[in-house]
Amino acid sequence: MAESSTRTVERALSLLAIVCDQGSATLGHCARAADLPASTALRLLRTLEGSGFVRKDDDGNYRPGSRIIQLGAQSLSNESLVSLSRESMEALVAETGESVYLSVEGHGGTAIYIAMIEGTHSVRHTNWVGRTIPLSESAAGRVLHNDVPAAGYVVVERGIEADVTAIAAPIRSETKVVAALSLVIPSYRVAEHDIDRYGHQLALAAEVVSSGLGRSTISA
Partner DNA sequence: AAACTCTTGCCATCTAGTGAAATACGTATT
Partner DNA sequence: AATACGTATTTCACTAGATGGCAAGAGTTT
User: What number of other Cβ atoms are within 10 A of residue 200's Cβ?
Assistant: 15
Binding site partner of 131, from a copy of itself, DNA, none, Cβ cut-off 5-8 A by kind: a copy of itself
Does 23 contact a copy of itself by CB under 8 A?
A: yes
Looking only at the bridges linking them, the beta strands covering 154-157 and 110-117 are: unpaired
Closest CA to 198 of 181, 177, 173: 181
Query: 115 with 89: CB under 8 angstroms?
Result: yes
Interaction mask 159-198, a copy of itself, x per CB under 8 A = ----------------------------------------
What's the min distance (Å) between Cβ of 65 and a copy of itself?
7
Interaction mask 107-146, DNA, x per CB under 7 A = ----------------------------------------
Residues 6+ apart with CB under 8 A from 124: 98, 99, 118, 186
Radius of gyration of the chain (CA): 20
Does 213 contact DNA by CB under 7 A?
A: no
Does 173 contact DNA by CB under 7 A?
A: no
What's the min distance (Å) between Cβ of 198 and a copy of itself?
26
Instruction: Give the HSE-up count for residue 100: Cα atoms under 13 Å, Cβ half-sphere.
Output: 27
For the segment 102-161, give every residue that binds a copy of itself (CB under 8 A): 104-108, 112, 114, 127, 129-132
Between CA 139 and CA 145 the distance in angstroms is 10
Stretch that binds DNA, among 33-41, 90-98, 112-120, 154-162 (CB under 7 A): 33-41
Between CA 95 and CA 73 the distance in angstroms is 29
Interaction mask 36-75, DNA, x per CB under 7 A = xxxxx-xxx---------------x---------------
Between CA 115 and CA 128 the distance in angstroms is 9
Closer by beta carbon to DNA, 5 or else 219: 5
What's the min distance (Å) between Cβ of 37 and DNA?
4
Question: Exactly one of 26, 70, 136, 216 binds a copy of itself (CB under 8 A); which one?
Answer: 70
Query: 25 with 15: CB under 8 angstroms?
Result: no
Between CA 186 and CA 151 the distance in angstroms is 22
Residues in contact with DNA by the rule CB under 7 A = 2, 4, 6-9, 11, 26-28, 31, 36-40, 42-44, 60
